Amino acid sequence: MSVTCRQVEGIKVVEVTGTLDVDNSPRIRDAVLAELQSGGGRLVVDLSGVERVFSSGLSTLLTIHKAAAKDGGTVIFCGARPFFREVLRITMLDRVFHITSDPEAALDNLRAD
Amino acid sequence: MVQLVSLGLPSDVACLRYVNALASEVAVAGGLDAEEVDRWVLAVGEVAANAVLHGNRADPGRQVAVIFAVHGGALQVSVCDEGQGFDLVQVVVTAERRLHALETGGRGLLLARTCVDALTVDRLPGGGCCVRLTKRLGGAAKGGAM
């Protein structure tokens, strides 16, 4: 599991890799929330390196989404693999989250705001 | 019934990775395709996490038993904890309410149920609870709306 951050034209892009499970989720949540705070409420979370996701990982993403929305910010989740996308659909979180296929599309959306 | 493999683990979330790895290996050996392996591992992982966190309340002194088997052309796993068990219908009703209210938590068993052909809960006479998941081999169920 890893969380790394890069900056593209002033917007932070956080890359999460590994498994989003009950063991890793607290560390991922804390790391991403820290980047959200220091990034001024705009964040791209690249999930293309996530191999497996469990419900605890979904709760982590929901916590991050709510934290951003509470302060008027935006988090865009991108790059989720097909099964991850299916899990988001099953749990109806695809109707709640801002989701794009890749970081470039996410950055375009944030630039347009 | 042919028992494939079983393991006992303490109620420590760090141990769940071994259950997930084993679930994946068993599913691949059973001939499930990659998509169905993903569904199976998700279901097993959710039920195992439930046993550790809710059944045994993360008490490392309490054991979780995980038994993989093949029975009647289907893959089965029984995940047993030392807790009091739960009412599946009640859990599902509560989980669906939490889902619609966008509350965190409560999605595990809903996901598990969606990813397998059957999910049953048995309270054991001497105490403890076993959740059994069944997934047909060859023509497995697809995930769908709940």
Tell me the nearest-neighbour CA distance from B9 into chain A, angstroms.
Answer: 15
Each residue's pLDDT tens digit, A3-46: 999 999 999 999 999 999 999 999 999 999 999 999 888 999 99
- Eight-state DSSP code of residue B140: P
b/e string for B94-108 if b means 16 or more Cβ within 10 A?
A: ebeeebeeeeeebbb
pLDDT tens, residue by residue, A35-44: 999 988 899 9
Q: Is the distance from CB of A50 to CB of B40 less than 8 angstroms?
A: no
What pLDDT, in 10s, does the model give residues B69-119?
999 999 999 999 999 999 988 888 888 888 888 888 878 999 999 999 999
Q: Which residues on chain B are in Cβ contact (under 8 Å) with A58?
A: 107
Write the ipTM.
0.91
Name the token pair of A20: 């989003």
Identify whether the C-beta of residue B42 lies closer than 8 Å to the C-beta of residue B111: yes
Contact A22 B13 (CB under 8 A): yes
